[in-house]
Chains A and B, each alone.
Chain A
Amino acid sequence: MPARRRTLLKVIILGDSGVGKTSLMNQYVNKKFSNQYKATIGADFLTKEVQFEDRLFTLQIWDTAGQERFQSLGVAFYRGADCCVLVYDVNVMKSFENLNNWREEFLIQASPSDPENFPFVVLGNKVDVDGGNSRVVSEKKARAWCASKGNIPYFETSAKEGINVEEAFQVIAKNALKSEEEEEIYLPDTIDVASGSQQRSSGCEC
């Protein structure tokens, strides 16, 4: 394997609308935060180069729209993902409860080869809001759910304050990379002339 081979990792961000998916991504990629809410239409795409354990790789981040009307795009968007980030708002119980749906929907649509061990990361966002007083989902509850789903790494983040964002994406990259290790073997055939007519040219206009 070439030493300086670069890897591209496709990362999907899922979660209910308004939980701060786009803000997290903007904080991570552009180090910016805006209080204004702009609904993502379909999906947004950002790239970020990351150095990790002496390797350079590119995160291709798919920031999807949380609204249900965009869910028909599922297969197209989820196909070939290396990691899936599930985001909820610690101040909105419903967004936490929906994590299960998001996870299952992803596994159905993306149908990864090893669903049990597919790398997810869960982010509880907006921990900064109201000094934590409006919080309704406890860290304990969230961690319990993550543990029950095969020890999904969990982070409490604030896209606004930039809390834990960098750390979370480090783990996202690390986990995505882990599953990439099993190399695909590419073994094409050789033409067997002896086996008769199979070798006829398809492009020959007779």
Chain B
Amino acid sequence: MASDSNSSPSITDCTDQNPNPNEVTDHLTTLAITESENAIVDEVDSNQEDSVDIANGSLDVNYDQNDDTQVEEELPTGSVLVSAEVEVVEDVRERNSSGGVDNGIDNSEHEIDVRLSPSSSGYAGERGTSSATSNSGIEEVEEDGNVITLQDSSIDAVADSASWVPGKRHVDEDDASVSWRKRKKHFFVLSHSGKPIYSRYGDEHKLAGFSATLQAIISFVENGGDNVKFVRAGKHQVVFLVKGPIYLVCISCTEEPQEALKAQLELIYGQMLLILTKSVNRCFEKNPKFDMTPLLGGTDSVFSSLIHAFSWNPATFLHAYTCLPLAYPTRQAAGAVLQDVAESGVLFAILMCKHKVISLVGAQKASLHPDDMLLLANFVLSSESFRTSESFSPICLPRYNPMAFLYSYVHYLDVDTYLMLLTTSSDAFYHLKDCRIRIETVLVKSNVLSEVQRSMLDGGLHVEDLPIDPSLRSLSLSPHLGQERLTTDSLERFIEVDHGIGGPAGLWHFIYRSIYLDQYVSSEFSSPINSSRQQKRLYRAYQKVYASMHDGGTGPHKTQFRRDENYVILCWITQDFELYAAFDPLADKALAIKTCNRVCQWVRDLENEIFLLGSSPFSW
């Protein structure tokens, strides 16, 4: 049980330097407010002494015994304006770019041309090769603070994943293109002979020279009996991951922690294994000339969709999965029918709705790692062909057994809900088809499918619904905070203002991860975190906190309270759970802590509905 006593006596504060100089500088120039860089990081550290925060790449050494209320008083009132106005600016941009989901390629290209900023023409001119680029492309630009163009069509959280179309981007580019060089985050996969296998942007063959260079760098260091892991070059981080004959490289200026980028490379490698298994290594052993690209033919969308998930799906850094909220009996009913099937030679039976689990069952002793589930779901969801017919496909679960294939029967029961039956037998198709028919019949009869659809419509937890006592609410919505937003630029504001500003005590969003269950639950996004770009920024903030909390050098930490111009992030880790919560940047610290306790209590009260409990397939 959470308690205030847990936090108050051991709090140490440190005044953080501006965490992202570029970004703030930009805000400053836009808004002409000078005090906005007073970001505060309050850290409650388990050992209280010399705790060092490296999340921002700069070392922020805490100093002890500083009263946090003092620090908060020093916060300039200007920063309210900052946060409010920044949002306004964003909203305007979004509206300008109202391309909309349906608008085709031409439209977005026009918009680009119109709003090119002269200083960055080279970059922006290349940006519009397809309307589908919108999300990833823009957000990346945005982070720089260099606002060039926006084709961001999604206004809602809901629209986010729906409007994003998987697939290869900017195939016409190569390393000589200015646009290519300016992309914020590159991923490369190449063979140990320097032959390109995959590149997020640009045509692999045109990038052959570039991938040869990467191979030369890796091999040069290897030659000296060492391994290159990480290079920082100005704003860019280059992260290397060597997996036998396969080299993976990320080049990024997104300021994500190095560990996070490495974890993303691991997932890309895992995705590759899911498609091919580790047997490809043998091909390289026999023949170093081996070209893997043909084997990966047609899988561009799988990788682009995974890379997209790095910016919206917390499962990619939490290493946990999430469930679709369902009444306990409904989930039990689904589990029971899957269990029946699992006893007839099915290794894993998984029923999912988009990336959320409805129920899953594993044969005796077989366990499924959350990363495998993520990669499997991504594979199925990003491959259009699974939607149109029942499929039987070889897949490898890298955490289960990276060397060998399983066979996966996939069938969509409705537009979002799909059943995956995994088996070791390559001739089990008809058996699995029978199983599916049985399962489908039961699910329809017991109304599970209709419940699933209803839950999809209802969405998950909303911070506004967090149970609170009335005194708290009046405190949290301090008048100036609410009104400032309305008045600063009411013309430019969206109607969303009417939706209020999140939950009690300025709570905007949270993620609760149950360590024991390997599951997480995340609140739905609501105002003011509306656009996919804002969501991505919040996830990146979570990711940073996650990395700093799990950093072997200075951690593990138990709580962290971090305040910057965008939000307050409160992270709390116990033996049983990890809680990540985002608040209004002016949120009161004591109230925020209280609210987090309430969130935990709330989640525990609802655990029957939001988690998959009981016959856990995880055999610890």
Contacts and interface: CB of A to CB of B under 8 A. Distances in A.
Interface of A: 1-2, 5-8, 10, 42-43, 45-47, 49, 58, 60, 62, 72-73, 75-77, 79-82, 110, 113, 180, 184, 186-193, 198-206
A76 B347 contact: no
Contacts of A206: 620
B404 A113 contact: no
B209 A72 contact: no
A113 B286 contact: yes
A52 to B, nearest CB: 14
Contact of A62 (B212, B283, B288): B212
B404 A189 contact: yes
Given A8-B291, A184-B283, A76 B215 contact: yes
Nearest to B224: A72
Nearest to B398: A203
B375 to A, nearest CB: 11
B234 interface: no
B222 interface: yes
B138 interface: no
A73 B223 contact: yes
Chain B at the A interface: mostly helix, strand, loop or mixed? loop
A60 B406 contact: no
Contact of A188 (B277, B286, B366): B277
**9 nearest A-B residue pairs (beta carbon):** A80-B193, A76-B219, A203-B399, A188-B279, A80-B288, A45-B209, A60-B208, A45-B212, A203-B369
A192 B620 CA distance: 22
B205 A49 contact: yes
B221 to A, nearest CB: 10
Of the listed residues B194, B369, B406, B426, the one surrounded by the most CB atoms of chain A closer than 10 A to its CB is B194
Interface string B202-235: 0001111110110110011011000000000000
A77 B216 contact: yes
Given A58-B205, A188-B405, A190-B426, A203 B372 contact: yes
B279 A186 contact: yes
Interface string B373-416: 00000000000000000000010101111111111000000000
A121 to B, nearest CB: 17
Contacts of A45: 208-210, 212-213, 216
A76 B212 contact: no
B243 interface: no
Contacts of A5: 294, 297
A1 B223 CA distance: 37
B406 A190 contact: yes
B429 to A, nearest CB: 14
Given A80-B191, A80-B192, A190-B426, A60 B216 contact: no
A199 B401 contact: yes
Given A8-B291, A47-B206, 4 more contacts: A5-B297, A45-B212, A189-B404, A204-B369
B34 interface: no
Given A191-B405, A202-B399, A203-B399, A58 B367 contact: no
A58 B195 CA distance: 11
A180 B424 CA distance: 34
